[in-house]
Each structure stands twice: as structure tokens, then as C-alpha cells.
Structure 1
Amino acid sequence: MFTIPLDDHAQLSSLEPWQAPEFLAHIDRARPLVDPWIPWTSLTTDLASARSTLQRYADLSSSDSGRIYGIWLGGVLVGGVMFTRFDTSSGVCEIGCWLEQAGQGRGLVTRACRALIDWAFTRRGMSRVEWWVASGNTRSIASARRLGMTRDGVLRQRYPYRGLRHDSEVWSVLAQEWPPAEAPAAPEPAPTSGDQAEIDRLMGLFMASFTNTGGRRPDLEIIRELFVPEGRIISNTGNNPVIMDLDAFVEPRQKMLTDGTLTEFSEWEVSQRTEIFGSVAHRFTEYRKSGVRNGEHFEGHGHKTTQFLRTPAGWRMSSMAWDDEPTRLPE
């Protein structure tokens, strides 16, 4: 059995039918978080069904058409990643992930998925890795973004779940877009403390607040909670910086994202570097964005620099400045 270290305390390893008791105990802990998104969790309710789930993936592995791996933290199974589909004839595979609460905030899923994607491209010669996700699964969508994937589109009302039909988003990364293992484009060092995890959380909430894909309503009001009241946000994309307080930043963007001017919009980090010095911190981010503006699809990218302060209420953003590359319209 192989083992790949994910950080000083976590490992990625194969998950096999003989581990069904441990797998079932883990799924029982994880069920409240993953049951809406991972189909087999609602069917894995006892030892026999847990063994059946793992046996199905063992059969897929033997036919080279799927695989499942576990993530162990401190010797306890806390999540996993999988090839739900692995089609060597087409050169296309699909990966998925899940995680219980005890494993969150450490970047474990991102690093585990990178290991799988790198293996698919560099060892197996795959051309495309896909990520299928329910439109409401914001954590999974954030993972796709951190992996540098591109959102290809939304399949509306693709599948039923508990009496309602749900949209699916399809994300992907291509072999020519994937960096070699020795020089990843989106490095994510293992957090060394809760400070890193909290700063990651703040930035994730900021980026997600703009999202209005799949009928989701953006919530820019949360930005007032992420920043100190005196916070400043600066656009430096033209000849002169535009310096805004929170009201000047939030209100026009909330309007634009809800009145039909800007639809199917999302923005996500591609790479980041965070430095923490006692009670202050800085994060340099490369990001991408896509959407439909006045009926025209567009894609863009740029860089942000964000400053953080540790306050009595916890970490808060104090300022942010960004510079966009020229927007790319479809040909």
C-alpha cells in the first residue's frame, strides 16, 4: 500500500474493502457535511453497505476505470479523494473529494487532488481532468478554483435529490495547463497555525461574495464583516488609483450583480502567498474571473494585495488593492 505525505501529520493512501469498519465510522461523522453532495454517502449506512462501496471502487481499480483514496490525519480517516471516472480511451477522467470537519482548514483536499491530477497527466497521459459539482456546493467549487480549473458551464436541473432537481457545474483542467510537480503554479504551503486557516477563510468568503452563477444571489454585505470599519479597497487598473471606503465599493457592485448587468459571474484565487508577522499579515493573490456582462461573455485575471490585522474579534482585512489584466472577450 502506498502512502503520500500531505503535511507533517496527514497522509494519502489507498482505501480498500478491508477498511470498511473504519470507513463507516468516518462516514457517520462526515455525513452531515457530505451527504447532500456525495451520492454513495446516503447509501453507506452499515458495515455491509460500507464494504460494498469500497468493493465497487476496488472493482473499478482492477479495470483501470476508477479509484478511491483516503486522507488520514493523525492516524484517523478524515476524508478522501477519488477518480469517479477514468477513461483512458478518451483521455478524460473525473475526480471528486470529501472531508469531515476535523480535516478542514489544512489544505488537505487541495494537496491530495493535486497528487491525483499530476499522476493522471504525467504518468497516465490523460488529456483532461474534470470536476463535476452541484451549484450549491461552495466548498467544492472553491477547491476547483484553487486547483486552477476553469468552469466550462452549468447543466441546469441535471439530477434529482430529495424531491428537487439540482444544477451541476462542470470544471476542468487540461494537460497543457497543468504545471510539473516541481514547479506548481498554485503553491499552497501547509498552514502552521489557526492564523493561516482564518486568513484563508476570510479571503474565500470575500471571493465567494461576488458569485451569482446558477441563480445564486451574491452577498457583498458580508464584506463589511470581513473588513475593519475603516477599511479601504483600491482599484489600480487605470492611470489613477480609485480609493473606496466599504460603502463606495459594496453598493455599486451589489447593484450590478443583481440587476442583470453582470450575470454568471465568479472570481477565484489561482495562487496565493501569505506572510504573517505577529498581529499583521499580507497576502498576494493571482486570481481569475469570468461572467457575462451586458450579454457578452468575458474572462479576465489579475493580482490583489491584501493586508490583515489581528483584532479583538479575530483577523480582519484592513486594505486591498488590485490590478486587472486586460479583459479577454471570446473570439
Structure 2
Amino acid sequence: MFTLPIGDGALLRPLEPWRAPEFLAHIDRARDAVDPWIPWATFSTDLPSATATLQRYADRLATDNGGIFGIWLDDTLVGGVMFTRFDSTSGVCEIGCWLEKAGEGRGLVNRACRTLIDWAFTERGMSRVEWWVAAHNARSIGAARRLGMTRDGVLRRHSPYRGVRHDIEVWSVLAEEWPTVREGSASGVQAELDRLMGVFVGAFTNAGGRRPDLDVIRDVFIPQGRIIANVGGEPVIYDLDAFIEPRQRMLTDGTLTEFSEEEVSARTEIFGSIAHRFSEYRKSGYHDGAWFEGSGRKTTQYLLTPAGWRMSSLAWDDVPAAVTG
């Protein structure tokens, strides 16, 4: 069967029933992280039940109604992605993912999911790819956001699990929203750069009950990225860790509430494997209980890397915010 490289020495391939012993060993390592979110992890506890899980997906694949695919890193199964539903008649499918700790922090799930979504749209002509997630599963919600998906709504108390009914968020991306050609088409590159900026800006939002997720910034930047505040007399230069940690704290400890930021205009220049964006933004929220509104400018540099387009640096300057009691 096929094997696809997805970067960093990782491979994506079908997770077939004959791989059940390897699958079971992997699930035993991942169970604490996976079990709360994926029911089959609860039931794959020995070789017969693990084989049955993979067989169910093999049967779905045979009837064009689903499929499961593993992610191998350095010849070890560390996670996977799946079509939990695939309905070619309606043009709608649903994808999901899981990962053990050894595979975290490399963007493997994002790249594997993109492979499935690209195939669904370009090869099968699907109209809509969905992502269903428990409303309190922040990591999975972050994964949907990094894929450029839109939150459609919440199915309240939809899914029972271990005696508790859980709210389910539904996220989706449509065929016309998906940048299918990233390297060969100017419009495809532009769409991908737009998406990266959207993920960056959206990471800070905690308005309307949304959960800020600044860890997604690591996925849109190269690991060596720099973020620069030039709002005072001297620039302050952050690496990713130094930028993310204090802002995540402010957005979750009550210091900064009902906060949102949006890009209101942008000019992007692309040349081969590099790009530059100059944009205007506005923001608002409550800081220590006082409402503020502000605006400013950003300049952002992008690089085309083996894993796709990424931000390499971003610098901003604020127009002083107007504060009201």
C-alpha cells in the first residue's frame, strides 16, 4: 500500500488490521491522552479488540465510507488521522486525529490532515470537510483552527461518554476555501499566507466565550521565528516562548477579557520562496476592567519551507489605545 512522507522523517500509510499488535502497543502508550476523546481507545485494550477496531475502518474503506491512516516517526507508530465519515453522495466527510506524546510539537497531525483534506477536495470532489470535537478539547479545537476551519456551532449535550453528555463543536472547511496549490499558483500562495495570518490573529481571541490558543503560533512560525514590539522608544525582541507565555496568561487570568483583533487591510508581495506582508489591524477588549480600542500596523516575513509556508518574523507598532472607564 502507499507510503507518503510528511516531513521530519515521518510517514503516513494505511493502518490495516494486520498492524494490530503495533497499533495496540501505540494505544497503550497514548491511552491517557487519547482515551478521553476517542471512544475506540477505550475499547482497544487487547489484541482481538484492537484488531476489531482496525477491521471496522478497513470495512469502511472498502465501502468508501471512511478509513484510518497511521503516522510513523522514525519507524514507530505515534498517531494517525482518519475519515470517520465519508459520504461521496452528499460531498461531506469528517476527519479526526490522535497523537501520542512522542509525536507532539512537530506539526505531524497538521500535515497528515492536510493530506487527507487535499485528497478529499482534489481527487474526490468533496464539498465540505468537517471536524467534530468535544467543546472542552482545547488541543483538538486548536488543530481545527490551524487547518483554517470555521466554527459552525455547538451541538449541546450531543454525545454521551462514560455517563456524561458532552457538548460538541462542529468546525468545517469548504472546497472553495481550501488552498489546494500552495507552491505553483500565486492565488494558492496568497490564500495560504492569508490563512497563516488568520490563524495568528485568531489565536488571541477570547471574546464571546472563545478560548485563546497561543500555542498555534508555533505552527505558523519557523522554530527560530522572532516577534518584535516596536511601540516604545526601543524595540523588544521575543523568541516564540517569550512571546507566547505572558500573553497566554493575560488572556486566561482575567487581565484581558472580551479581546479580539482583526486584520482590516493588507498588501502582500511574493517572490519565489519568500514573501512580505504589510497590514493594518484593529483590536478591542477590557484590560483590568477598562474598555479599550486600538489599531496599528504589522510587517510580516514568510518563507517557503519543506513543511510549507511559515512566518519567519513579525514586527508591529501600535497607535496609542483610547481607554475609557
Common topology (TM > 0.5): yes
Give the deviation of 1:8 after TM superposition.
4.1
Q: Tell whether 2:90 aligns with 1:90.
A: yes
Taking only the aligned residue pairs, the percentage that are identical comes to 60
Aligned equivalents of 1:134 and 1:89: distance in 2?
A: 27
Matching residue of 1:211: 206
Give the deviation of 1:24 after TM superposition.
0.2
Matching residue of 1:123: 123
Residues 26/175 of structure 1: CA separation in 2 closer, same or farther (3 Å cut)? same
Matching residue of 2:172: 172
Contact map agreement 1:132 1:170 (CA 8 A) in 2: yes
Matching residue of 1:156: 156
Residues 208/8 of structure 1: CA separation in 2 closer, same or farther (3 Å cut)? closer
Secondary structure of the corresponding residue to residue 6 of structure 1:
strand
1:194-273 → structure 2 map (5 Å cutoff): 210-211=205-206, 250=250, 254=254, 257=257, 262=258
Matching residue of 2:64: 64
Aligned equivalents of 1:129 and 1:209: distance in 2?
A: 25
Matching residue of 1:106: 106
Aligned equivalents of 2:134 and 2:201: distance in 1?
A: 21
AA of the residue aligned to 1:105: G
AA of the residue aligned to 1:173: V
Aligned equivalents of 1:106 and 1:219: distance in 2?
A: 17
Give the deviation of 1:135 after TM superposition.
1.4
Give the deviation of 1:213 after TM superposition.
6.2
1:304-319 → structure 2 map (5 Å cutoff): none
Residues 75/89 of structure 1: CA separation in 2 closer, same or farther (3 Å cut)? same
Secondary structure of the corresponding residue to residue 19 of structure 2:
helix
Aligned equivalents of 1:5 and 1:153: distance in 2?
A: 34
Contact map agreement 1:67 1:84 (CA 8 A) in 2: yes
Matching residue of 1:239: none
Aligned equivalents of 1:118 and 1:155: distance in 2?
A: 27
Residues 30/284 of structure 1: CA separation in 2 closer, same or farther (3 Å cut)? farther
Aligned equivalents of 1:266 and 1:51: distance in 2?
A: 47
Residues 133/304 of structure 1: CA separation in 2 closer, same or farther (3 Å cut)? farther
Give the deviation of 1:160 after TM superposition.
2.2
Aligned equivalents of 1:35 and 1:213: distance in 2?
A: 29
AA of the residue aligned to 1:14: P
Aligned equivalents of 2:134 and 2:174: distance in 1?
A: 21
Contact map agreement 1:135 1:214 (CA 8 A) in 2: no
Question: Structure 1 regions of 5+ residues with no counterpart?
Answer: 188-203, 221-230, 236-242, 268-282, 294-301, 307-318, 324-331
Residues 74/255 of structure 1: CA separation in 2 closer, same or farther (3 Å cut)? closer
Residues 163/142 of structure 1: CA separation in 2 closer, same or farther (3 Å cut)? same
Match 1:321 to one of 313, 316, 322: 316
Secondary structure of the corresponding residue to residue 126 of structure 1:
coil
Aligned equivalents of 1:161 and 1:322: distance in 2?
A: 48
Secondary structure of the corresponding residue to residue 7 of structure 2:
coil
TM-score by length of 2: 0.64
Aligned equivalents of 1:117 and 1:95: distance in 2?
A: 8
Give the deviation of 1:93 after TM superposition.
0.2
Give the deviation of 1:147 after TM superposition.
0.9
Secondary structure of the corresponding residue to residue 114 of structure 1:
helix
Secondary structure of the corresponding residue to residue 116 of structure 1:
helix
TM-score by length of 1: 0.63
State which drifts further: 88-97 or 158-167. 158-167
AA of the residue aligned to 1:72: W
Residues 119/79 of structure 1: CA separation in 2 closer, same or farther (3 Å cut)? same
Residues 21/321 of structure 1: CA separation in 2 closer, same or farther (3 Å cut)? same
Give the deviation of 1:58 after TM superposition.
0.4
Aligned equivalents of 1:250 and 1:61: distance in 2?
A: 46
Secondary structure of the corresponding residue to residue 125 of structure 1:
coil
Residues 6/89 of structure 1: CA separation in 2 closer, same or farther (3 Å cut)? same
AA of the residue aligned to 2:53: T
Aligned equivalents of 2:139 and 2:204: distance in 1?
A: 13
Matching residue of 1:12: 12
Contact map agreement 1:79 1:100 (CA 8 A) in 2: yes
Aligned equivalents of 1:32 and 1:81: distance in 2?
A: 18
Residues 232/115 of structure 1: CA separation in 2 closer, same or farther (3 Å cut)? closer
